[in-house]
Amino acid sequence: QVQLVETGGGSVQPGGYLRLSCAASGTFRKITTMAWYRQASGKQREMVATISGRTSTAIAPSVQGRFTVSGDTSENSLSLQMNSLKPDDTAVYYCNAWVQITSEYNLREVWGQGTLFTVTS
């Protein structure tokens, strides 16, 4: 069983910053990709950032220049540094990973339980 645990949620004022972290645990061969998704109230879940390995990253245009993803899939860890936060960033943030359980042919998508943070004055 693979588990993803997110930490770092809370409440922040507009213009503030926050860092989210995600750690994977359990029994598996390797993680190929990790990502952050978010879902605001009444909206669809959207991808925020992804990482494969340590240097292959992607950031959604809506947060480009404000959010930075870091981590290393070989170390089963992922972080998201969020700066210049806006009320529109308020959402539940989910950690996501594609995990090879026993081989490259046994691939499973895993989600964390989500962590809420609110940007409000």
pLDDT of residue 7: 93
> By C-alpha distance, which of 81, 84, 95, 87 is closest to 18?
81
- Give the rounded percent of residues in the chain with a pLDDT score beyond 70: 100
pLDDT tens across 16-35, in order? Answer: 999 999 999 999 999 999 99
- Give the rounded percent of residues in the chain with a pLDDT score beyond 90: 90
Mean pLDDT across 60-64: 95
**One-letter-per-residue 3-state SS of the chain:** CEEEEEECCEEECCCCCEEEEEEEEECCCEEEEEEEEEECCCCCCEEEEEEECCCEEEECCCCCCCEEEEEEHHHCEEEEEECCCCHHHCEEEEEEEEEECCCCCCEEEEECCCEEEEECC
Tokens for 60? Answer: 């959604």
Whether the per-residue pLDDT at 55 is higher than 90: the answer is: no
pLDDT of residue 9: 86
Whether the per-residue pLDDT at 47 is higher than 90: the answer is: yes
Task: Name the pLDDT band for 86 (thresholds 50, 70, 90).
Answer: very high
CA distance 65 to 116: 22
Tokens for 8? Answer: 């770092």
Tokens for 23? Answer: 């750690």
pLDDT of residue 1: 86
CA distance 21 to 105: 28
pLDDT, the chain, mean: 95
Task: Name the pLDDT band for 72 (thresholds 50, 70, 90).
Answer: very high
